[in-house]
Amino acid sequence: MQNPAWKSPRAWIILCTVMLIGFSADLATKSWAFKHVAGQPVLLERELLLSNPYWTPIPIHEGQVAIPGNLLDFRLVLNDGAVFGIGSQQRVFFIIFTFIALGIAGWIFSRHTTKNNTIAHIAIGLVLGGGLGNLYDRVFIGRVRDFMHMLPDRHLPFNLSWPGSNSELFPWIFNTGDVLLLTGMGLLMIFFWTQPTQSNGTHDTKSIINATKNTNDTTQATPQPDQD
């Protein structure tokens, strides 16, 4: 590959700037939410969270309307699993998997982008920033802080429900890091689908996109339990 990104100071500056801004935004929004959304600051004690997976310091609260019209509410949840609640109480596994996913993102940057692929560098920076934000929570807090609930109080038609008997249209609660991860992966897939496939395999689009999709397991989205 001519002019690989890892040799370009400009590419590194873009990558690191986006990553640091995303990482900082994720931690700042989580911190704000856990201070204000429940009506009182929520104190997170790491040792208690790790020793008792069923304990939560979050008080019962109604949450806050972020976007009117039942589009987005803020509601606090501590997540010890992955998307759809799969892998609950598998903290060490998800820490290791996150390191692997971040390594894949770095590999894509160094081996499959050039110094002029700015969109790809921004996308990878978003993935790294979101992944590092959730990794920080797992390591230093014990669980991932989630607080965004999209389409609250809207339910599936025909009495349908998700596994776990939750009938909400979108029962998962997520955070800024998840938004960064999904946005970054979406931009990466668009970028590689629009690149010409070279005969020497420099841009093996489908394999790169498959690797990018695999990083989706770092996304933290917590199912909202049914409240009868």
Annotated catalytic residue, options 178, 204, 226, 228: 178
Annotated catalytic residue, options 26, 73, 146, 217: 146
Radius of gyration of the chain (CA): 19
178 an active-site residue?
A: yes
Residues with catalytic annotation? 146, 178
